[in-house]
Amino acid sequence: MTDDIVQQAIQGDERAFESIYREYFGFVFNVAFRIVSKREEAEEICQEVFMTVYRKISAFRQQSSLKTWIYRITINCALKYSQKKSKQIKGVVEYDETNPIAAPMKDIRDRIDEEENEKVIHKLLGHLYLEQRTCIVLRSIQGLSYKEIADTLRIPINTVRSRIKRAREAMLALRREAAPHEL
Amino acid sequence: MNCKEIQELILTDYLDGEIHQGKKGLLESHLASCRDCKEFFVLAQQTTVEPFMKAKKYDRSRAVVWARLQEDIQNEKKDTPECQQEFGLIERWKKIIFFPEPVFVWGVFAVLVVLFFLLSASVKQPYLVNQNQGQDQNQIKQEVLVASKETADQDEYLAYYFNEEDTTDYGTSVEQYFL
């Protein structure tokens, strides 16, 4: 994402806004989906995030990077939505049956493994508190560094570290409770 | 570093590749010699990291959400002030005549407060109170005069009832009656 595109978007250029959408949709959607666990809800969050970006980008002062700004909006929207719904994702598993990136080229064994892995992820994430889940999603699925997570969530880096540690301890405890094949 | 410290580092910085080189060397040499910590590391990696590395990336909703966004943006454009100006005079008069709700509520509240103070001030004005007291006292004096003519035994009581200032006015007629 070049500075020119960001500048054009700030000045109201809709093509530039579309470029931003294409660049960040994947992150926004996947983070939202992992936090709320339902595709329809993740779509709603996505819509809200990009409408916020559309409305507020003219006031974006580039004090933080566009990436961090959009990440922050995403997390805020997803957490707000999740708290509003007060839903637990424990045991609620939803699959995107026709994932265009994954499915057609893979053999059946791979698809089964993939679906099993999705079940495990849902179970693990469902076992965590919302703030722990957010840190794990940002770190382990989206690959953000501790610094990027701290900037996005506006929390100290050691808080990120302790949330990740507690989340992993909780996941290990779940693993020890359950038989290995159940996870 | 002891095993507890090693395992704390494994759960955070080591698994996430954020560990400093110096500590990394220490940790790895510990892992080479400590079976428990090595097992802990393998379990932690298998349980808390690997499933997420293989997580699916969803992309299917991109077009759906974009279509909805376009719709929302168009609707929002209709609601912008530039579009509203097209409605012309009617809209402008509406804006002039109809105040936003909070303004209306505060206006009513302010009027009620002013009315309350006006009413309370008119009831409690001191000069009005004195006037009323004066009228009452004159009426009482008349009644006392009549009464004193009828029953002389009440005179002492009346003298006690009214204070010294008040007796200067009506005392004369009472005394005259007895004289």
pLDDT in tens, A155-171: 999 999 999 999 999 99
* Residues of B in Cβ contact (< 8 Å) with A22: 62
Domain span including residue A11: 3-182
Residue B104, CB-side half-sphere exposure with 13 Å CA sphere: 6
pLDDT at A27: 93
In whole angstroms, how far apart are CA B133 and each of B5, B126, B136?
91, 11, 5
Computed on alpha carbons and rounded to an integer, the radius of gyration of chain A in Å comes to: 18
* pLDDT band for position A96 (cuts 50, 70, 90): very low
| Closest approach of B12 to chain A, Cα-based (Å) | 6
Beta-carbon separation of A26 and B57 below 8 A: yes
Chain A residue nearest residue B15, CA to CA: A140
Question: What is the CATH number for A74?
Answer: 1.10.1740.10
Please give the average per-residue pLDDT across B68-92, as a whole number.
70
Split into its structural domains, chain A has a count of 1
Express each pLDDT in B114-149 by its tens digit.
999 988 887 765 555 555 556 666 777 777 666 556
pLDDT at B146: 63
pLDDT at B151: 56
* Residues of A in Cβ contact (< 8 Å) with B13: 161
Preferred mutation among A36, A164, A174, A177 to probe B, highest tally of B CBs within 10 A:
A164
Chain A residue nearest residue B12, CA to CA: A165
Written as one letter, the residue type at B164 is E
pLDDT at A60: 84
Beta-carbon separation of A43 and B54 below 8 A: no
Tell which B residues from 33 to 92 touch A, by Cβ distance under 8 Å: 43-44, 47-49, 51-62, 64-66, 68-69, 72-73, 76
Express each pLDDT in A2-60 by its tens digit.
778 888 888 888 899 999 999 999 999 999 999 988 888 999 999 999 999 999 888 88
Whether A175 has its CB under 8 Å from any CB of chain B: the answer is yes
Q: What is the DSSP string of B24-92?
A: HHHHHHHHHH-HHHHHHHHHHHHHHTHHHHT-----TTHHHHHHHHHHHHHHHHHTSHHHHGGGTHHHH
* pLDDT band for position A97 (cuts 50, 70, 90): very low
Token pair belonging to A80:
């707000």
Chain A residue nearest residue B61, CA to CA: A43
Whether B102 has its CB under 8 Å from any CB of chain A: the answer is no
Of the candidate ranges A118-132, B37-51, B137-151, the one whose mean pLDDT is the lowest: B137-151
Chain B residue nearest residue A50, CA to CA: B69
Written as one letter, the residue type at A179 is A
Give the integer Cα–Cα distance in Å for A134 and A75. Answer: 8
User: Where along chain B do its domains lie?
Assistant: 3-53, 62-120, 126-178
ipTM beyond cut 0.95: no
- Picking from A46, A114, A116, the residue whose alpha carbon sits closest to that of residue A81 is A46
What's the mean per-residue pLDDT of chain B? Answer: 75
Q: Would you say B54 and A114 are in contact if contact means Cβ atoms under 8 Å apart?
A: yes
**B46 pLDDT above the threshold of 90:** yes
